[in-house]
Amino acid sequence: MRSGYVALIGRPNVGKSTLLNQLLGQKLSITSRKPQTTRHRILGINTLPEGQIIYLDTPGMHQEGQRALNRQLNKTADSTLMGVDAVVFLIDKPEWAEYDRTILEKLKQAGLPTILAINKVDRINNKSNLLAFLAEAHNTYPFAELIPISALKSTNTQALEQALLHLLPENEPIYPTDQLTDRPERFFCAELVREKLIRYLGDELPYRLTVEIEHYQETEKLTRIHALIWIEHHSQKSIVIGKNGEKLKLVGTEARRDIEKMIERKVYLQLWVKIKKGWSDDQRALHSLGFNDQ
């Protein structure tokens, strides 16, 4: 048996979370076209007949100017690389982006066995570009392997898994073999609500919006969940709620479906929008508007 920790690193939007979900066969990490989707570090545990791979999906970086991004990138890469046994470095085109150079520097310092995964190959039409890039990458850095994959279509993801197993130390499983993550289910419920908000609010999404599970109760027939959506300004409320409450209804319905899939139970999901300062009146106001979803 081999077991160990693997960091998934790469620029925002290259498909780290999509890959994690695909490898685990379950949605653990929320994904979107927006760079800041993954805010928390997520541990995904994949137990295979040959061993256990524990993946770390890393938070996205905020694109607030190049210097800040670089700083954040360095911090994220540093902390994620600490204590892992191997790394998957994801890129999403057969070419280096500017930030990839920074990541390569970090990798060099860390000196960990690293697989370069060129993701989104389903979008590559010109395979000769890919071949030329593979040769170039091989000379750029001593990668343990270069593997073109499609996280979305599951192309070559098993080959990636097998290659990773070979890089891990001989070990008994670190986590119980039926465990999927180190986070409680309620954490993922909040994340799924946040994912739908990102999806349906688009560019209107308040930057500091957060979701908190206030109440999580399993009854005999269903799981009751009360989620608070925290915003900062009163003016953002109508954006989140939408005309006649349509946005919030949609978010609630879609999040509930995903949560039901995840916990395999019926769910009663109630969403509340609260303003961090002076929100006490909103609770009653929203309740009277009937913002809940079954």
Considering the rule CB under 6 A, would residue 38 count as an interface residue with ligand GDP? Answer: yes
User: Per-residue x/- marks for Mg ion, 23-62, CB under 5 A?
Assistant: ---------------x------------------------
When binding is defined by CB under 6 A, the residue of 45, 117, 137, 151 that contacts ligand GDP is: 151
Enumerate residues 6+ apart whose C-beta is below 8 A from 184.
none
Q: How far apart are CA 32 and CA 17, in angstroms?
A: 9
Cβ(198)–Cβ(33) under 8 Å?
A: no
Question: Is residue 80 near ligand GDP by the rule CB under 6 A?
Answer: no
3-state secondary structure 130-187: HHHHHHHHHHHCCCCEEEECECCCCECHHHHHHHHHHHCCECCCCCCCCCCECCCHHH
37 binds ligand GDP (CB under 6 A): yes
At closest approach, how far in Å is the CB of 199 from Mg ion? 14
* 181 interacts with ligand GDP by CB under 6 A: no
Cα–chain center distance at 72: 17
- Describe the strand order of the beta sheet including 86-91 as a list of residue ranges: 42-48, 51-57, 2-9, 86-91, 114-118, 145-148
- The correct pick among 12, 44, 59, 252 for binding ligand GDP (CB under 6 A) is 12
Nearer to Mg ion (CB atom), residue 17 or residue 119: 17
Contact 116, 135 (CB under 8 A): no
Among 61, 107, 116, 152, binds ligand GDP (CB under 6 A): 152
User: CB–CB of 190/227 below 8 Å?
Assistant: yes
Cβ at position 80, least distance to ligand GDP in Å = 13
* Residue choice 2, 11, 17, 106 for contact with Mg ion (CB under 5 A): 17
Question: What is the binding site for Mg ion (CB under 5 A)?
Answer: 16-17, 38
Question: What is the binding site for ligand GDP (CB under 6 A)?
Answer: 10, 12-18, 31-33, 37-38, 60, 119-120, 122-123, 150-152
